Structures are given as C-alpha cells and as structure tokens.
Amino acid sequence: MLRTILSGAALAAMAIPAAAATPAPATCDEACLGRLADQFVEALAVNDGSRLPLGKSFRYTENGQTLEIGDGMWGTLSAYSGQDPVRSPAAAKLPYRLTLFDTAKGEIVRLVETDENSTRGLTVLRLKLDGEGKIGEAEVLPVREEFGGNRGGTVTLLQPMLLATMDGAKLEAADPLLARGEKAPATAATLQAAADAYLDAVQGGKGGPVPLAADCLRRDNGERATGNVASEPLDPTKPAFKPFALSCRTQLDSGFYSNIARIRDRRYVVDAGRGLVLVLAQLDLPGTRLSFNAPGVGTVSYPGPRGTDPALDGQFANRFAANMIAPVSMNAAVLFKLVDGKIARIDAFYRGAPLGIKSGW
C-alpha cells in the first residue's frame, strides 16, 4: 500500500474530498472528539495524514519539537492499545488506554500504550480544534522503553538514566478509578488548583498543604511509586529510606524531590466530569543537589557517579544505573484524579531531555 507523507502546509493547502475528511462541527462533543483521536492515531500507524481534517495553521510536535507529518512516530508506530488485534496482534499486549475530554475548549488527550518496532511505551496525544472545527494542534509525547545491556540504545549517552524509566512489561491497564465519572465533580478551577498544589510541593522538595486522599496512589512511568514496600533504597548507606515505599503525603514531606528546581510551562487539560486534570510541563533538575535531609533519617545522597564513596559507587557498577546528579529536564505529563475534592490517583509519565528544553507550545 502506498504511504503518503505530506507536510502540514501541503495538507492544509490540499483540497480533501468531504467524504474523506469531514470537519468537526462547531460544537464537538465527546463522541466527536473521540472519533478525531481515533482517526489521528490510526493515521500515525499507517503513516498517512492525507485524510485528516487539518486546519490552515495546523502544527504538530513530538517531544516539544515541531515536525512534519511523516517524521518521527509517523514512521515507527507499529501497534497501539485499542487497535484491531486482527490487524495488529501486538495491540492485544498493550493494555493502557485513557481519554480526557474538554469539550468547552475543543480539546482531547488520549493516553495510549504503543509499540514502535518492538519498543513499547506510553504516548500522550493532545489534539485541539481550531475555530473551524478542524484539528489545529497536535502534540505527541512518546515515553519509550529505555534499557541498557544487550538492547543498547542511547540512554546514558545523551541523557542521564532516570530513576523510573519506562518498562512496557510493568505498564498495566489504567486504574479503573481514572475513567469513573464523578457524581459531584470538582470544578475545573478546583482541579487545576489541586494539581498545582501538588506540583508546587514537589518543586524543590518543599512539601506543603496538598489535598490528598488517604488512599492516594502514584505511579511513575507505570511503576508503583508510593506504597511500594518492595522498592529499593535510594542511598545504600541509608537502607531504611525507600522513597517509593512512602505514602503520597510522606513522600512529599521527605525532601525526596529536592533535586527538582522548577516545574515550568505548565499547561492543563481538564475533564471535570471525570475529576481528571492532566498537566503537561517541563521539570528542571540542574544536578546541583547531591543530597537532602530526610526527617528522621538524616542526609540521603542522590544516586550518581562520584568516585569517592565506595558504598555509593557500588550503585554504578552497572553503567546503566540511575543518575540523579546530572543536569536534565523531563518532558512530563502528570495525570491527577480527584475524588471528593482530594487527589486519589497520580499517573506520571516523563522522559529525560537536555536541560532547558522547551514545550514547543
């Protein structure tokens, strides 16, 4: 089958038959937005954007970089969750799929597990309609598996290894609570304020007042990052301090996030009916904080190559171990679920990038 690869400008100028690409109506409800997201992901999979209803000023980004249709994931996406398993058997092994709708703003976010030439990951897709009911913005954040060993790859060559990298084998289906509608949903302003309160508490490891539910659970790139008693110590000289074993509250108050200097360029997609807010942001880790003081524990060193302390250097007998003392920014999508006005679930997806990277928006 011939694959069409066209630039955004060329697609905008092309006269697309009405039957092939019918613009969305002025008011696009959830079903309408959902169809557009389905269309877009399918177009990515077959590397053919010619049938998409793209606006005159359409722009597409991946990891904050403006790309032409046909570049990036357009040439690598093999399968995605929700795809017909008969057409793509690999799709049956990709369980994570979640959608946020903001019909008032004509915006949709689809979190979809993906397979790119046998490399699994989670892709965040954001679409926004223009004033004519066509797709004006398309933003993609692919968070891919990154391993060392026999698989090789660029991890640690161009960026430091993060503490919780994506591992497709650990990425389960989205928590059912995330998709549940709320009988008394919080307002968009309340949802955004709760998300900001949490991120403000993370920024610089300050802690502080955050509306957290007693059963709050956080996952980082699919891995359980709170209440995980099987997790490893951060610093081998402080074996009792396991940040991923803490609760959402005690994790914030522990100082664990002290190496995150700034969470900037925050953008929000709010699905008030489901009590969901997704924050797209860049997290700056300058690499200047080598340790922090954890209450009741003392000084905890962040993992990273030092060459002075044998106990700490032991973490780096394998060159692919985590490095939290090198400059890096993280392109991040952090999903919050509020129940009765309190944060009950947090799904954070992020990928390392050069320090200071921009969002592209």
CB 240 within 8 A of CB 233: yes
In a domain, 2, yes or no: no
* Three-state SS at 45: helix
> Which string of DSSP letters, residue by residue, matches 278-304?
EEEEEEEE-S---EEEETTTEEEEPP-
What's the pLDDT tens digit per position in 324-356?
Answer: 999 999 999 999 999 999 999 999 999 999 999
Reference 244, options 261, 256, 253; nearest CA is 256
Helices (H), 159-187: 176-179
In a domain, 74, yes or no: yes
Q: 331: which strand partners?
A: 282, 351
Give mean pLDDT, residues 198-217: 96
Q: Do 78 and 217 belong to one domain? A: no
Containing domain of residue 310, as a range? 181-353
Q: 7: which strand partners?
A: none
State the Cα–Cα distance between residues 238 and 249, nearest whole angstrom: 20
CB 306 within 8 A of CB 312: yes
State the Cα–Cα distance between residues 195 and 138, nearest whole angstrom: 23
What's the pLDDT tens digit per position in 236-289?
Answer: 999 999 999 999 999 999 999 999 999 999 999 999 999 999 999 999 999 999
Q: Do 268 and 127 belong to one domain? A: no
Say which range, 17-21, 100-104, 200-204, has the weakest mean pLDDT.
17-21
In a domain, 9, yes or no: no
Q: For position 26, which CATH number holds? A: 3.10.450.50
What's the pLDDT tens digit per position in 17-63?
Answer: 333 455 545 579 999 999 999 999 999 999 999 999 999 999 999 99
Residue 66, phi then psi, degrees to nearest 5: -75, 125
State the Cα–Cα distance between residues 296 and 286, nearest whole angstrom: 26
State the Cα–Cα distance between residues 52 and 137, nearest whole angstrom: 12
In a domain, 294, yes or no: yes
Q: Do 338 and 268 belong to one domain? A: yes
Q: Do 206 and 85 belong to one domain? A: no
Reference 295, options 256, 261, 325; nearest CA is 256
Q: Do 274 and 212 belong to one domain? A: yes
What's the pLDDT tens digit per position in 128-181?
Answer: 999 999 999 999 999 998 765 444 444 555 677 788 889 998 899 999 999 999
Q: Do 25 and 106 belong to one domain? A: yes
In a domain, 7, yes or no: no
**Total domain count, the chain:** 2
How wide is the angle at C-alpha 111 spanned by C-alphas 110 and 114, nearest 5°? Answer: 115
Rg (C-alpha) for the chain, rounded Å, is: 21
How wide is the angle at C-alpha 193 spanned by C-alphas 164 and 174, nearest 5°? Answer: 40
CB 207 within 8 A of CB 252: yes
